[in-house]
Homo-oligomer: A and B are copies of this chain.
Amino acid sequence: MRLNQRAHNQLRPVEIIRHYTKHAEGSVLIKFGDTHVLCTASIDEKVPSFLKGQSQGWITAEYGMLPRSTGSRMDREAARGKQSGRTQEIQRLIGRSLRAIIDLKKLGERTIQIDCDVIQADGGTRTASITGAYVAVHDAIKHLMDKKLISESPLIDYVAAISVGLHEGNPLLDLDYSEDSSCDTDMNIVMTGSGGFVEIQGTAEGAPFSREMMDQMSDLAAQGIKELIQLQKNVLK
C-alpha cells in the first residue's frame, strides 16, 4: 500500500499558486505533495546570438535545488562552481518541453527565461517543474498580450509531465522520493493537452523492463497528465 492510502494510479495532491512572487512576469508555486517548486518566467527583450535577426523568439530554462530542499544537505552549486550533470539534464528537458508548445515565430524577438527552483523536494521535481513552468509561461505571455507587445498568443497547446515507475513489477503513478528510490524502473513522460508525446525518458535502474511494462507505464502516465492539464485549465480559467 502507498503512503496516505494512495492508489497506484493516483496523483499526489497537486496545488498550483499563481502570482506567488511579485517581480516575475509569470510566477507559480507548484506542489506535488511535499515537492514544492517555484517556477518563474521572465521576459527578456532579446534573443541569444544564434537566433539574432531570424524573427523568432526563444524559451530556455534553468533549474536549481535549494541546498536543504533535500533530506541531507546538498552542496550549493554556486559555491562548487558548477552545475551537476543532473541539473543540466533537467534544465535542458524543461526547455525542450516548453518549446514544444510555443510558436517561437509568434513570440517575436524575445526570450522567455524559465527558472525552476526547488524549495522542498520529495521526488518528481522535474515533472512538477515542467507542469508549473507551463502556467508561469502562460502568465508571462498574458503579460505580453496585456501590454500589447504581441497580438496573438504563441501558445499552441498545454504541456505537463509526470513520473511513473515499476515497483516489484507493478506500475505506479507519480513517485515520491521513497518510491523512486525503491523502483526498478523510473520513467518521466511529457505530453501535450492533445495527447501527443513530447518526451519519454525511461531508465531501468534494476532489471530491464519489458515492452508490456512500458505500455502499462505509458498508459498510466497519459491518464495522470490528463488530470494535470485539467488542473492547469482550472487554475488558468
Contacts and interface: CB of A to CB of B under 8 A. Distances in A.
A117 interface: yes
A82 B85 contact: no
Identical subunits present: 6
Given A85-B89, A211-B197, A23 B68 contact: yes
Interface in A59-83: 62, 64, 66-71, 73, 76-79, 81-83
A3 interface: no
Query: Looking at chain A's contact residues, is the secondary structure mostly helix, strand, loop, or mixed?
Result: mixed
A77 to B, nearest CB: 4
Which of A204, A207, A211 has the largest count of B CB atoms less than 10 A from its CB?
A204
A151 interface: no
A199 interface: yes
Contact count band on A: 35 or more
A49 B64 CA distance: 25
A126 to B, nearest CB: 13
Nearest to A191: B208
Contacts of A34: 22
